[in-house]
Amino acid sequence: MAASVTHVKDRDAQPKVPGDARSTKSTVLETGAALTQDFSPLQNVCAHLNAFHVYASDPRRIVETNHYCGHLTEDVRQCLLYDSPSPGARLIGIEYMIKPHLYESLPQEERRLWHSHVFEVKSGMLVMPQPSAFVPQGAWEKAETAEMEEVIKLYGKVYHLWQVDRGDRLPLGEPQLMTSITAADQVPGLAERMDHRDKGFSGCDWRAKQEARKGIGEPEVHPDADYTWKTRD
């Protein structure tokens, strides 16, 4: 999905990775490959979502994450996670989302690795950025709300591979299990973080989305989900 029109579409917009600038040879080879190779798995991406994740091992650490998701089946989604929506974004993780009947079939230890999306949706924290100023905002908001009605039911399992929040210039260490936020008071300054995020996307207003989503029903969350927060009660 295209990045928001407010973001610079510059492949080198984030010079946070070691190495020389891409050479003319690399650019030519890449262009040729793009014209001749088949990238079918990537064609399955059908939604760009933005939200915040926290580390399961340390929920004080929060990372804004752009999800590029596709359906494997009606019951299973998979997402590539990036630190920004620009062409120069770093791939920082993966997320899988499944419907409740699949989640409930998992053993308890596995269920504890998964998180709910109820607060993300109802709070307005989870957004589907408007792809272009040429798309009517009213129509896009209806599409986003319809998407949220589906996502709110899903359980997600996330691993980040690159700890960009601590300034790592390469993906160092072991994959880190992440989780979602389930209450506003879990992360100090969350409203300010969402305000800052909204400035990067055309027409994005988490408070307005929160109001628009009041009519979305809240599913009952399985007691084994969101285990990080239960260990801190």
Kindly tell me if the per-residue pLDDT of 76 is higher than 90: yes
Query: Residue holding tokens 């009660």?
Result: 233
158, 95 Cβ separation under 8 angstroms: yes
pTM: 0.84
Q: What is the mean pLDDT of residues 100-125?
A: 98
Kindly tell me if the per-residue pLDDT of 15 is higher than 60: no
Kindly tell me if the per-residue pLDDT of 196 is higher than 80: yes
- The secondary structure of 45-110, three-state, reads EEEEEEEEEEECCEEEEEEEEEEEEEECCCCEEEEEEECCCCCCCCEEEEEEEECHHHHHCCCHHH
**String of DSSP letters for 156-219:** EEEEES--GGGT-SS--SS-EEEE---SGGGSTTHHHHHHHHHTTSTT--HHHHHHHTTTSPPP
Q: Give the highest mean pLDDT range of 27-36, 46-55, 97-106, 201-210.
A: 97-106
CA distance 13 to 8: 7
Q: pLDDT at position 43, please? A: 75
CA distance 119 to 117: 6
CA distance 148 to 141: 10
User: What 3-state class would DSSP assign to 155?
Assistant: strand
Structure tokens given for 70: 């596709």
Instruction: Tell me the pLDDT of the chain averaged across its residues.
Output: 87
Q: pLDDT at position 224, please? A: 98
Run of H or E including 142: helix 137-151
Kindly tell me if the per-residue pLDDT of 16 is higher than 80: no
Q: What is the mean pLDDT of residues 54-61?
A: 96
Q: pLDDT at position 39, please? A: 73
φ, ψ (nearest 5 deg) of residue 199 = -65, -20
Kindly tell me if the per-residue pLDDT of 114 is higher than 80: yes
pLDDT band at 25 (very low <50, low <70, confident <90, very high): low
Query: Residue holding tokens 């905002």?
Result: 137
pLDDT band at 83 (very low <50, low <70, confident <90, very high): very high
What is the per-residue pLDDT across 133-152, written as a single tens digit (0 to 9) for each?
667 777 888 889 999 999 99
Q: pLDDT at position 33, please? A: 53
Burial of 128: CB neighbours in 10 Å, binned 0-12, 13-18, 19+: buried
Q: What's the gap between Cα 11 and its chain centre? A: 20
Kindly tell me if the per-residue pLDDT of 2 is higher than 50: no
